């Protein structure tokens, strides 16, 4: 009985640590919390997202080299890497109910038509390597590219929020759900979140690590990546050709996320 009790306490404590450790993204997919109108804490698990896939070979090669550079410094992070075929710039993270799938496709298509009609296609430029709380290593965008991506995100937010589909912000602060409905005031209450959005391309994230840790998972420290020469990468530009609406589950036949819809620009 003492052994069983010890195991139970260990598992309970580990679960507590894991929940505490994650405040975003993917299984790999931790739950996100938000404060409802009744001030009770609720947890949502992101299950869909919208992104710009990265297929440029030169860029992908450089991203792989950065990952290798980090692993030379600290091999424990080998399970943190994003696979080559999954490099992307995240635009929107969503929690979608089963009965909202068709509604979500409608929202996505509406936003894509607005983007194609109202926005000129601009090339995306990178700026530097950085992390979210030393848990996620990412490549940030230059200011003009940031603004351009945020404009795309605004069109997506407008289409999804007015249909009552829950949006989860991904930023440097703890992630927060928008309680969307048809009332625009609800979105305006969260306008400060838009200012904190950090468009980025993720290279590594320690939430991918499957090993259980009693304390914090290994962190991606600046020492591991700040000496990498970004000269070649910063010369590259992304020409946005496609935006994808994806389920976070994997399609075993393609080893890629399940594609709900995609739009060619």
Domain hosting 67: range is 2-264
pLDDT of residue 227: 98
What is the Cα 221 distance to its own chain's centre? 20
3-state secondary structure of 45: coil
Q: Is the pLDDT of residue 12 over 50?
A: no
pLDDT digits (tens, 9 = 90+) for 13-33: 444 443 444 444 443 334 444
What are the b/e assignments for 165-204, b being 16+ CB within 10 Å? bbbbbbbeeebbbbbbeeeeeebeebeebeeebbbbbbbb
Q: What is the largest CA-CA distance in the chain?
A: 67
pLDDT digits (tens, 9 = 90+) for 112-124: 999 999 888 899 9
Please give the tally of structural domains in the chain: 1
pLDDT of residue 15: 42
* Residue 10 pLDDT level (bands cut at 50, 70, 90): very low
Q: What does the pLDDT average to over 164-179? A: 64
pLDDT of residue 197: 78
Q: Is the pLDDT of residue 9 over 90?
A: no
Task: State the DSSP H helix or E strand holding residue 232, giving kind and residue range, or none if neither.
Answer: helix 231-235
DSSP 247: E
| Cβ partners under 8 Å of residue 125, min gap 6 | 141, 142, 144, 145, 234, 237, 238
**CATH code of residue 106:** 3.90.1140.10
- Rounded to whole angstroms, how far apart are CA atoms 53 and 86? 7
């Amino acid at each position: 009985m003492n052994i069983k009790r010890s195991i139970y306490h260990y598992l309970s404590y580990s679960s507590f640590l894991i929940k505490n450790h994650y405040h975003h993204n993917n299984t790999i997919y931790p739950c996100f919390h938000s404060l409802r109108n009744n001030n009770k804490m609720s947890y949502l698990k992101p299950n869909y997202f919208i992104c710009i896939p990265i297929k440029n070979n030169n860029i992908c090669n450089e991203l792989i080299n950065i990952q290798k550079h980090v692993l030379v410094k600290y091999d424990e992070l080998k399970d943190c890497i994003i696979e080559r075929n999954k490099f992307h710039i995240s635009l929107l993270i969503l929690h979608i109910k089963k009965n909202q799938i068709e509604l979500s496709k409608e929202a996505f298509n509406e936003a894509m038509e607005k983007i194609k009609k109202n926005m000129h296609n601009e090339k995306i430029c990178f700026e530097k390597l950085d992390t979210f709380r030393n848990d996620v290593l990412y490549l940030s965008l230059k200011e003009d590219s940031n603004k351009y991506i945020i404009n795309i995100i605004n069109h997506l937010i407008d289409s999804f929020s007015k249909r009552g589909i829950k949006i989860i912000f991904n930023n440097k602060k703890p992630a927060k759900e928008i309680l969307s409905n048809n009332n625009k005031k609800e979105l305006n209450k969260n306008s400060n979140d838009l200012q904190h959005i950090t468009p980025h391309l993720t290279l590594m994230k320690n939430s991918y690590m499957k090993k259980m840790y009693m304390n914090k998972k290994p962190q991606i420290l600046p020492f591991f990546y700040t000496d990498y020469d970004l000269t070649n990468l910063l010369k590259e530009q992304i020409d946005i050709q496609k935006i994808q609406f994806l389920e976070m589950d994997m399609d075993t036949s393609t080893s890629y996320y399940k594609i709900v819809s995609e739009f060619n620009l």
